[in-house]
Amino acid sequence: MIQALREHPALRLVALMTPGAFWLAVFFLIPLGIMGVISFMSRDAQGFPAPPYTLSNYQNIIRDIRFAPSLSLEGGLSIRLFEGLYLDLFWRSIWISLVSTLITLVIAFPVALFMAQLPRRYRNLALFAVMIPFWTNFLVRTYALQFMLRGNGPINTLLRSLNLEPIELLFTPTAVLIGLVYGNLPFMILPLYTSLEKFDWTMIEAAHDLGANTWSAFTRVMLPLVSPGLVAGSILTFVPSIGSYITVDLMGGGRTNLIGYSIAQQFSASVNWPFGSALSLVMMIIVTIAAVIYFRSSRGGSRAVI
């Protein structure tokens, strides 16, 4: 048996893949299939999925979309051509997730850069520090964050002691954003750090030598060369943001609705599994498309490096 594995690389590959493939099949693909089926079902008297099969769940998502051009300055400039209940929901989810990814990136990059430049013996210590939050349950950490932002929490206490107006943070979109950035930060720092640690600093010297100032050296040489970490970190941040539930619930207090939260509502409070399933699948498709576009557009940089 071992002998056969040694001699046949193809066999070895199959043997290595089997446990993972089995796991994925049983706990991911089959439930996904079941969800797919449910999304085409109706509800019985108790609200549980039942035949007849129908397209109405999907129709409900797009039914109210209408052409309504608008321009608003709320939460940054936004130009809209269409609106509709779920369209808005998807749009807002993507928007907030994008913004949170961007903020996370801007905060994480200097941290990762700093870590990568530490003397070797301190780097593992820094990595350890980044991972410490994982030792506490996410729910607990989110409650702690909630406490921080409360009307009489530490932030507002500080503001008051400085004779400044307290700000209403909790249960606002800003609070959701803060929660998302906080929760996702390690997932951005770690892949960025991995890329930056491998970064060859003579590249920057070469760029300077050829007349590139600091900004050009950063954008033309460093960013493309660390793009694998950039892409990985962004996807690890963007995707969980869109589907986030705990953060939206605890930080947004149900007032800032994101698609992941809506889906959870359908499965619990509204007891509408078929509609929840349909929303989930649409979200999955959108996220997949977004990720593919992102991968494609950043491949120019990473292709030469990987």
Partner 1 sequence: MVLRIKSFAQGQPLSALSADTSICGGRGLSEFAVELRDVTKVFGEVVAVDHVSMGIRQGEFFAMLGPSGCGKTTSLRMIAGFERPTSGEVYIDGKPMGSTPPFRRDVNTVFQSYALFPHMTVEQNVGFGLEMKGVPRAEINRRVKEALELVRLPQMAKRYPRQMSGGQQQRVALARALVNRPKVLLLDEPLGALDAKLRKEMQIELKALQREVGITFVFVTHDQEEALSMSDRIAVFSKGKVLQIGTPLEIYERPNCRFVADFIGETNFIEGKVKQIDGEFAVLESDGRCFVGRAGEGLRVGAQASLSVRPEKAQLVEQPMNSANCYEVRVHSVAYVGSDTRVIVMLGDQHFDIWEQNSLSTLDPNYFFGPGERAWLVFRPENALILAE
**In the complex, which residues of this chain contact partner 1 (CB under 8 A)?**
200, 202-203, 205-213, 216, 220-221, 224-225, 300-301, 303-305
Give min distance, CB of 111 to partner 1, in A.
24
d(C-alpha 212, C-alpha 31), whole Å? 53
Give min distance, CB of 81 to partner 1, in A.
37
**Residue with Cβ nearer partner 1 (131 or 210):** 210
**Residue with Cβ nearer partner 1 (95 or 199):** 199
Give min distance, CB of 114 to partner 1, in A.
21
Q: What is the DSSP letter of 220?
A: I
Give min distance, CB of 206 to partner 1, in A.
4
d(C-alpha 16, C-alpha 19), whole Å? 7
Residue 242 corresponds to which amino acid? I
How crowded is the C-beta side of 135, counted as CA atoms within 13 Å?
A: 5
Name the 3-class secondary structure at 233.
helix
**Residue with Cβ nearer partner 1 (165 or 200):** 200
**Residue with Cβ nearer partner 1 (154 or 300):** 300
Name the H helices within the chain. 2-7, 9-24, 30-38, 56-62, 85-117, 120-131, 138-149, 154-161, 173-197, 202-209, 214-216, 223-225, 227-242, 246-252, 259-267, 273-305
**Residue with Cβ nearer partner 1 (285 or 305):** 305
Give min distance, CB of 40 to partner 1, in A.
46
